[in-house]
Amino acid sequence: MIEGFKIPNVKFKVREGDTAENQETCSIGGKWIEKNTDDFFKGKRVILFSLPGAFTPTCSSQQLPGFESNFTKIKDFGIDEVYCCSVNDSYVMNEWAKKMGISNIKLIPDGSGLFTKYMGMLIAKDHNGFGQRSWRYMAVIKDGIVEKWWQEPGINNSGSDDDPYIETTPENSIKYLSSTK
């Protein structure tokens, strides 16, 4: 991916309004909403980071909570929204946000993997039983155009368990944003 790239226009199936009586029951009762790329990115300057999956170790212990705890600092640099995208369905993404106590970062479910594929980041994680997932990447996107791009080294489809988390940290986005202010 290169700076100046226009992100793909795809549709996302988002589940809204599901509730649960308690933590032991599944959230139900909501409805499906269809959103597209413009709903998330048009007319905004955003941070988008993508990761291999909800409820996975690095994603849950470092990346998502790191962006949540740095949200205000990131917003202070003129960012309208911070999005986390993963090749998971909306039910999983909603429950992950709830379990993790995420209130600021908006999660984008790419259940079909089309957005990730068109971003050039869809990889096979069959060796872990994950199927198709996203390689870890991050971007500053302004009105649908990639302003700045980061991705982890060694993009793999090889069956390796490599899952580097070096480039796509909130600290790297803050460093870049502070240099453009």
**Mean pLDDT within 25-52:** 96
pTM over 0.85: yes
Q: Where are the domains of the chain?
A: 11-17+29-180
Helices (H), the chain: 37-41, 57-58, 64-69, 71-75, 90-100, 114-118, 170-180
Predicted local distance difference test score (pLDDT) of residue 21: 87
Q: Kindly tell me if the per-residue pLDDT of 25 is higher than 80.
A: yes
Counting Cα atoms < 13 Å in the Cβ hemisphere of 167 gives 18
CA distance linking residue 139 with residue 2, whole number of Å: 10
The predicted-structure confidence for 143-179, as pLDDT tens digits, reads as follows: 999 999 999 998 865 556 678 999 999 999 999 999 9
**Mean pLDDT within 60-73:** 98
Q: Which residues are catalytic?
A: 59
Question: What percent of the chain is modeled with pLDDT above 90?
Answer: 83
Question: What percent of the chain is modeled with pLDDT above 70?
Answer: 96
The predicted-structure confidence for 128-137, as pLDDT tens digits, reads as follows: 888 899 999 9
Question: Is 3.90.180.10 the CATH classification of the domain at 11-17+29-180?
Answer: no
Give pairs for 152-157: CB < 8 Å, separation 24+.
155/121, 155/123, 156/123, 157/123, 157/124
